[in-house]
């Protein structure tokens, strides 16, 4: 699992908005808030992503983009994104490669799923914040993430 101060593993994944996103496309331009979550349209995941949606303007003012990641399929991502009007894309990690690269794969159920985790990656591609939940019913608040982004900008 990469730690704070390590270069962030790059990726290229399809998203709910029909585009493909890679970490390298934001290098030198935007901070990336990479949000791993277990399931589309589930109570905790919905509360978490709606919290970030409601602070979208604040994230933008801090030169940050949010990318949601789970192992759910694209059909579920599109329905979830449309239902809650997320202004950020939801990436499909079909083969679990991104979850594995970031140490955010939860095993133990019938199928492996993304664990709830947040990584903030600065404009140079370095991990500046990392939090992997020990119990996935907990989540990081928008306020906490914005505070971390402000520290990076200072």
Which CATH class for the 40-153 domain? alpha beta
Nearest residue to 115 via CA among 64, 44, 56: 44
Specify the pTM.
0.95
CA 52, CA 23: separation in Å to the nearest integer? 19
CA 141, CA 18: separation in Å to the nearest integer? 28
Annotated catalytic residue 45? yes
Structure tokens at 31: 């901070």
Residues 6+ apart with CB under 8 A from 129: 4, 118, 119, 120, 145, 148
User: Which one from 45, 81, 106, 117 is the annotated catalytic residue?
Assistant: 45
Give the per-residue pLDDT at 135.
79
Q: Write out pLDDT tens, residues 110-143.
A: 677 888 999 999 999 999 999 998 877 889 999 9
Among residues of the chain, what percentage have pLDDT more than 70?
97
- Give the domain ranges of the chain: 40-153
Q: Write out pLDDT tens, residues 5-43.
A: 999 999 999 999 999 999 999 999 999 999 999 999 999
Average pLDDT, the chain: 94
Give the per-residue pLDDT at 109.
60
Half-sphere exposure of 126 (CA within 13 A, CB side): 6
């Amino acid at each position: 699992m990469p730690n704070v101060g390590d270069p962030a593993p790059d990726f290229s994944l399809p998203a709910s908005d029909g585009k493909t996103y890679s970490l390298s496309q934001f290098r030198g331009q935007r901070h990336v808030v990479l949000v791993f979550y277990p399931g589309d349209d589930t109570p905790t995941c919905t509360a978490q992503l709606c919290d970030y949606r409601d602070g979208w303007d604040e994230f933008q003012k801090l030169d940050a983009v949010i990318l949601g990641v789970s192992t759910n399929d694209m059909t579920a991502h599109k329905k979830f994104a449309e239902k809650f009007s997320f202004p950020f894309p939801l990436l499909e990690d079909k083969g679990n490669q991104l979850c594995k690269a970031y140490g955010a794969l939860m095993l133990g159920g019938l199928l492996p799923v993304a664990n709830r985790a947040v990584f903030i990656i600065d404009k140079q591609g370095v991990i500046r914040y990392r939090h992997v939940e020990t119990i996935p019913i907990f989540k990081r608040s928008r306020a906490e993430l914005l505070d971390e982004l402000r520290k990076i900008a200072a």
